[in-house]
Amino acid sequence: MSALICGSMAYDTIMVFPDQFKNHILPDKVHILNVSFLVPRMRREFGGCAGNIAYNLRLLGDDPVPMATVGQDFGPYRQWFAEHGIRMDQIRELPELFTAQAFITTDLDDNQITAFHPGAMMRSHENHVRDVPGVSFGIVAPDGRDAMLQHASEFKAAGIPFIFDPGQALPLFSGEEFRHFIDQADYVVVNDYESNLLQERTGYDEATIAGKVRAYIVTQGPKGSRIHTQGAVHDIPPAHERRITDPTGCGDAYRAGLIFGLMRDYDLPTCGRMASLMGALKIEHPGTQNQRFTWAEFAEQFRQQFGTTL
């Protein structure tokens, strides 16, 4: 049985401005802002939540099924996934549109200016969870608004356990809609900032959310993560990376480790540690899909980090 990964697939174009934005933006002239930044360094990465989660699950030896809508420029991404043996039967290509993409410019202070083009992602509701056979687990990750609402409803109707991961889609929904997502989901995963925002929107505290799902998981960056259940709170220690190269995509790697563990009935503390290690292995590499390891290497790293075997 496979995990259905509902979410975005995107290209990330990342550029570095070798100066500080503040030196070129006049505060008293922002009403007539017209600036241009020379960016001698640029790279293009494969990204999007569904793409990143599927890639990380494949590293663990799983057979994920990413579900997304993409555009006429998907060719290089398709080849990348083919090289890694990742299924693409639930990826719908819309030739009249472009694949979603982010254009990110970072200055020397790590400030960022990002332009995001959703492209084909805005029609991701044309895919249906109910049409995919052989699915035993799922995740509703950031995607088009209508798609996220629809996918959650169809997972629930099919009796398929799933994770609700609002992420950067948090601004798209009302408190009532978030409460409905929580009522449908089996797990909710957010970072600590998103947790505060979700609580503010819903009027629920952590204990209330945990009481409505099997687990409410809050990541805390270098501090690790916390898994809240109806009867306990599990503090998950961070895995220790050998070097910090690029944090982009660590959250998606964490979610892949969580999904892998949950599908194999590991207990929640073990699932959290697997997820933590996935994030640490990702942060050692640039981009979101450039880390490589085998299951044996992952299991050995887990033993060294946490003192137990998988």
pLDDT tens digits for range 269-285: 999 999 999 999 999 99
What is the rounded average pLDDT of the residues 131-146? 97
What is the rounded average pLDDT of the residues 184-213? 97
Considering only CA atoms, which of 204, 253, 250, 260 is closest in space to residue 228? Answer: 204
Q: With both helix axes pointing from N to C terminus, report the angle between 75-83 and 49-59 in degrees, rounded to the nearest 10.
A: 20
pLDDT at 178: 98
Q: What pTM does this model have?
A: 0.94
Domain positions in the chain are 2-7+47-67+130-299
CA distance 154 to 126: 13
Dihedral-angle region of residue 65 (phi above 0 means left; psi in -120 to 50 means alpha; beta otherwise):
beta
- Return the structure tokens found at 105: 């410019």
Interacting residues of 209 by C-beta distance below 8 A, sequence separation 6+: 182, 188, 198, 199, 202, 216, 228
CATH topology of domain 2-7+47-67+130-299: UDP-N-acetylmuramoyl-L-alanine:D-glutamate ligase (3.40.1190)
Torsion sign across C-alpha atoms 147, 248, 57, 217: negative
pLDDT at 166: 97
> CA-CA distances (angstroms) from residue 124 to 9, 22, 29, 120, 142?
10, 38, 39, 7, 11
Determine contact, residues 198/218, Cβ cutoff 8 Å.
Answer: no
Res. 38 pLDDT band, cuts 50 70 90: very high
Considering only CA atoms, which of 32, 5, 13 is closest in space to residue 248? Answer: 13
Res. 247 pLDDT band, cuts 50 70 90: confident
What is the rounded average pLDDT of the residues 48-72? 97
Share of the chain above pLDDT 70, in %: 100
pLDDT tens digits for range 65-118: 999 999 999 999 999 999 999 999 999 999 999 999 989 898 888 788 889 999
Q: Tell me which of 42-46, 80-84, 253-257 is least confident.
A: 42-46
CA distance 270 to 280: 15
Res. 1 pLDDT band, cuts 50 70 90: confident
Element spanning 235, H or E: strand 233-236
pLDDT at 110: 74
Res. 205 pLDDT band, cuts 50 70 90: very high
Determine contact, residues 189/217, Cβ cutoff 8 Å.
Answer: yes
pLDDT at 109: 86
Q: Tell me which of 111-120, 202-211, 257-266, 291-300 is least confident.
A: 111-120
Share of the chain above pLDDT 90, in %: 85
pLDDT at 114: 87
* Helical ranges in the chain per DSSP H: 49-59, 75-83, 145-158, 175-184, 192-202, 206-212, 250-263, 268-283, 295-306
CA distance 110 to 16: 9
CA distance 25 to 21: 6
